[in-house]
Amino acid sequence: MKLLRKYGIQTIFVLVLSQCWLVNAGEREITQRVSARVIVDNDFAGDPDGLAALAHQLLSKKTETVLITVSGLDPELAKFSYRDRDTAVAGAQKANKLLALLGTKEVPVAPGYDLNSQEHNEPSNAAKAIVQAAMQDSDLPLFFTCGGPLTNLAEALKLEPAIAQRMTLIWIGGGDYPTGEPEYNLMTDLDAAKYVFEQSTVPIWQIPVSTYRQMQYSVAEMAIDFKPVSPTATWLYEQYTHLPPFVDMGGALTMGDHPLVTLSALSVQSSQSDTMASRVINPDGSYGKERVERPIRVFRSIDARLTFADFLAVMKLNNTKS
């Protein structure tokens, strides 16, 4: 009351507001430190969810993306949109476009050989870049995250088998256990998958088909909440408006490549997994006998709420800083 009589209500109100401003001005953010390096590999000329997941990974504060490598599309699928174009090169162009839109620091992008191409005597740019990145000394663990066929990783492992113990593979692909099925990423380059699973020793975290299909994002939500966030979000949204004619769009999109970011940059604690024996992969994509000497980690569920909430938030944060 003495203060009110001495200074008046308006003066005290201004003083209180100024103190609040000073507190907010000195507000501290939660510290996030880079805890892992990531090589991102995907068929970026295919489903746009690979590009959306790449944006998410690049904006993560917990991982450093050290390399982006690109595989080609299944030749039958490539006919719908690319005809005679090299789909690995086309995917690399899209990845570079996304880097420019995000304004993130420069990350090298290396295409592999297109799956329509003939045999080559020289290793692909992707394979050479993977070996070089994996052999770099670092105190941080290295994840190889793959949302497409395992073409580039298999080639890199053949080029330098020592990289197998210098990384962990997180792969979107393959059928559910124990039976399996002819899933797209698996069947696009079955030989590559068989080599990685059956002839290499790289640690594997697998997200099979029924698990990555849990990652559903509403089409309406994408138009209302995601598209207006930034020019980058608008560009990503537009990629979904050029899908092949055989795609019958319902009320939701499968954003199936985002678990790569969930597990490498967010948390494994709210997703469920089992460590089990891998299995022989049959020519039809089904699984054969167990290989008890080759354990792998298979994820049964992914925390979709955490994943998509974080994706939207980091896209908003990136726009406010640009």
122-181 tens-digit pLDDT: 999 999 999 999 999 999 999 999 999 999 999 999 999 999 999 999 999 999 999 999
* CA distance readout (Å), 64 to 135, 284, 301, 317: 16, 37, 25, 17
- φ, ψ for residue 159, nearest 5 deg: -70, -40
What does pTM read for this prediction? Answer: 0.89
Alpha helix segments (H runs only) across 27-116: 49-59, 75-81, 87-102
Report the pLDDT averaged over residues 291-296: 97
Residue 321 has pLDDT above 90, yes or no: no
Quickly state the pLDDT bin for 309 (edges 50, 70, 90): very high
Residue 238 has pLDDT above 60, yes or no: yes
Alpha helix segments (H runs only) across the chain: 2-7, 9-25, 49-59, 75-81, 87-102, 125-134, 151-159, 184-188, 190-198, 209-212, 219-221, 231-239, 259-261, 304-321
pLDDT at 13: 43
Q: What residues contact residue 212 under an 8 Å CB cut-off, 6+ apart?
A: 172, 254, 256, 257, 259, 302
pLDDT at 117: 72
1-53 tens-digit pLDDT: 444 444 454 543 444 444 444 445 567 888 889 999 999 999 999 989 999 99
Q: Are 180 and 273 in contact (CB under 8 A)?
A: no
Report the chain's mean pLDDT, rounded to a whole number: 90
For the chain, percent of residues with pLDDT exceeding 90: 77
> What distance in Å separates the CA atoms of residue 224 and residue 93, rounded to the nearest whole number?
28
R_g of the chain computed on alpha carbons: 23
Report the pLDDT averaged over residues 195-204: 98
pLDDT at 29: 85
pLDDT at 80: 67
Q: Report the DSSP beta bridge partners of residue 300.
A: none
244-280 tens-digit pLDDT: 666 667 889 899 999 999 999 999 999 999 999 999 9
